Every structure is written in structure tokens, then in C-alpha cells.
């Protein structure tokens, strides 16, 4: 089984692309959702997070995203749960062991250095202006707040350059299903070549 990672910046459309892969029967592990579950609904991690980061990150028993004002605070929090995240991923892989490949979807793949764990990486790309517009339509954030938030991310072009495949997900871009089918074919051929 090949292990493929899928990443992209906020509002690039990772979830949309994952659904397209699901539609062609490729299992997708949503690492971001699993991390949120572990962080907010696994009280056995609370003490370790408090010891590693501090109690101020908690609000009414839940982690407060606004508390993570620096990347190092966020990284130290993920350090606490990383092992359990990848244990969950191992269980996921075991469930789909007959698949040619599985996809690990994560918005912080390159930031955490996880890309080295995978055979291939897919980046979902949308221009920053379009992502800002999507975020504005989806939230009550001010545009200047969104730009400030997005400016802290690794650039889209850096992620594209580090990836094996890039999916263009914007209004004037190529058809999404066609792009996914093309990548699926390339990954399947790559898997066949590795076996033979």
C-alpha cells in the first residue's frame, strides 16, 4: 500500500478534494479532525498539554484557538498528541489494507516535517485572494484579520514546489475530477512499478 499525503493552506479546498478522492473509493484520513478530537475530547492529555504549554490555552475545558499566538505554542501542543495521531492513522491503514493507496490529509504536513513519512505529496492550491474571499464568506472575520492570519502560513508556492502533484482549485482552474483522476492514474501506475 502506498501512503499519500494531501495538504494545502486554509480555504484551499482540501476537504473538497478529499471528497472527490472518496468518490473514486480512495480512503482519506482527516488528520486535522482527528487532532481536534484528541485535543478537545481526550482529557487524559490535558495535564501533558498544560505542562508543555500552560493552562492559559484552555477555556471552559476546551483549547482556545486564539491562545496560540505563536507557532511554537502550537507546535508544543501538537508534540503532545503526535504519537496518538499516528497510532490512529495506523489503525486507519489497517482497516483499508487492501487499498492501492490511502491519503493522509493534513494542513500542517510540511510545517511538522511529516511529508518525509509519505511516498507522494499532493498540494491543493488556490490563490490567496480567492482563499481570503472564501474565508470572508464563511466567517465573520474582517478582511484585514484574514490577511494577517494567512500571511503567517507557509506560502502556497513553497508547498507546491515541495509536492509531487498540485491540484488547482479555483473558479478558472481545470476540472477537479479530471485532475483527481489523472493523479489517481499516476499513483496507481507508480504503485504497479514499485511492485514489479
Q: Which residue has the cell 509519505?
A: 118
What is the C-alpha radius of gyration for the chain, rounded to an integer number of angstroms?
18
Nearest to 191, CA basis, from 18, 26, 7: 26
Task: Enumerate the domain spans of the chain.
Answer: 1-27+106-196, 28-95
1-27+106-196 CATH: 3.40.50.300
Q: Is the pLDDT of residue 63 over 80?
A: no
Average pLDDT, the chain: 89
The per-residue b/e assignment along 113-147, b for 16 or more CB within 10 angstroms, e otherwise, is ebbeebebbbbbbbebebbbebbeeeeeeeeeebe
pTM of this structure: 0.89
Q: What's the confidence (pLDDT) of residue 76? A: 81
Q: What's the confidence (pLDDT) of residue 56? A: 67
- Find the range with the poorest average confidence among 72-76, 111-115, 127-131: 72-76
Q: Is the pLDDT of residue 139 over 70?
A: yes
Q: What is the pLDDT of residues 13-34, one digit of tens each?
A: 999 999 999 999 999 999 999 9
Please, which residues have CB within 8 angstroms of residue 194's CB and are 6 or more apart in sequence? Answer: 2
Amino acid at each position: 500500500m502506498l501512503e499519500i499525503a494531501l495538504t494545502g493552506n486554509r480555504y484551499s479546498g482540501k476537504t473538497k478534494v478529499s471528497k472527490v478522492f472518496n468518490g473514486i473509493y480512495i480512503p482519506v484520513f482527516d488528520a486535522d479532525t482527528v487532532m481536534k478530537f484528541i485535543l478537545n475530547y481526550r482529557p487524559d492529555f490535558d495535564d501533558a498539554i498544560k505542562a508543555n504549554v500552560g493552562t492559559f490555552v484552555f477555556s471552559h475545558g476546551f483549547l482556545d484557538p486564539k491562545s496560540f499566538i505563536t507557532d511554537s505554542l502550537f507546535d508544543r501542543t501538537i508534540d503532545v498528541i503526535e504519537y496518538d495521531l499516528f497510532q490512529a492513522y495506523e489503525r486507519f491503514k489497517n482497516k483499508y489494507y487492501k487499498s492501492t493507496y490511502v491519503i493522509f490529509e493534513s494542513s500542517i504536513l510540511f510545517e511538522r516535517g511529516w511529508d518525509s513519512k509519505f511516498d507522494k505529496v499532493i498540494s491543493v492550491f488556490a490563490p490567496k485572494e480567492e482563499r481570503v474571499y472564501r474565508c470572508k464568506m464563511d466567517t465573520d472575520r474582517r478582511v484585514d484579520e484574514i490577511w494577517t492570519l494567512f500571511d503567517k502560513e507557509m506560502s502556497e508556492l513553497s508547498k507546491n514546489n515541495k509536492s509531487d502533484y498540485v491540484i488547482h482549485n479555483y473558479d478558472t482552474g481545470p476540472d477537479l475530477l479530471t485532475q483527481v483522476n489523472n493523479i489517481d492514474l499516476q499513483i496507481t501506475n507508480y504503485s504497479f512499478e514499485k511492485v514489479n
